[in-house]
Copies of this chain bind each other. A is one copy, B any other.
Amino acid sequence: MSIKKIPESTISRLFVYLRELSELSKLNIRTISSSELGERVNLNDAQVRKDLGYFGQFGISGSGYDINELKAALEKILGKDKTWNVAVIGAGHLGSALITYPGFQQHGLNVVTAFDADVKKIGKRFGGITIQPAGELPKAVKEKKIAIGIIAVPAKDAQEVANSLVKSGVECILNFAPTVLSVPENVKVNNVDLSRALETFSYFLVNPALSGRVNKAVSGKK
């Protein structure tokens, strides 16, 4: 392992490899080559090897990677041997889906509290989690050792929530609100911009670079 800078996109792909390796492991397959793995996740074989190469040597020339070994190595690298506590702020449509999603727990991410500003929501329960008043956040972050905050409030309230999280000491924020948050540089923000992910299609539909007949725009709007 060197001091070279590791691209964030590499980290992101390691999770994809890991997921694939878990599937393969369940199927009792023992080894896989970088090209087979790459094919399964739509990536170049060299990309797979280079990504792994940032962290060491895991393969065997001529036969590839031992799936269980590589899986274990990636779990270690990615911190899967630890668990982290997560808070959801905003228990609306999206927030409540996130609170009850069992998949996060399987990955060592435990949603342990949720907050809302609306008195009608406070006290409600979603899958074992009771919604608390937003004002309780700073105290809860400390008491429950929250490492990650998920912002699922309307855009206009998102910065305020981010400030509160930062002030309480949370350094990882997953933001679902369609707005750009300002945070100190020690804080890591991941934006999940659903509208943008969907809107992007409208550009591709209007500029059909390649491809054939697509359903046409329904109207000229406005």
A-to-B contact residues, CB < 8 Å: 8, 11-12, 14-16, 19-20, 40-42, 77-86, 93-94, 96-98, 100-101, 103-104, 107-110, 141, 145-148, 150, 169-172, 174, 178-180, 182, 185-186, 188, 190, 192, 194-207, 210-222
Interface centre among A19, A98, A185 (most CB of B within 10 A): A19
A107 to B194, CA, bound (A): 12
* Contacts A/B (CB < 8 Å), 19 sampled: A8-B200, A12-B200, A40-B180, A79-B207, A82-B205, A82-B206, A83-B221, A84-B205, A84-B217, A93-B97, A97-B97, A145-B216, A146-B215, A147-B215, A174-B197, A174-B201, A188-B204, A190-B201, A192-B192
Decide if B215 touches A15 in the complex (CB within 8 Å): no
A interface, over-half SS: mixed
A103 to B197, CA, bound (A): 13
Q: How far is the CB of A41 from chain B (nearest CB, A)?
A: 5
Write out the residue numbers on chain B whose beta carbons fall within 8 Å of the beta carbon of A147: 201, 205, 214-218
A107 to B201, CA, bound (A): 11
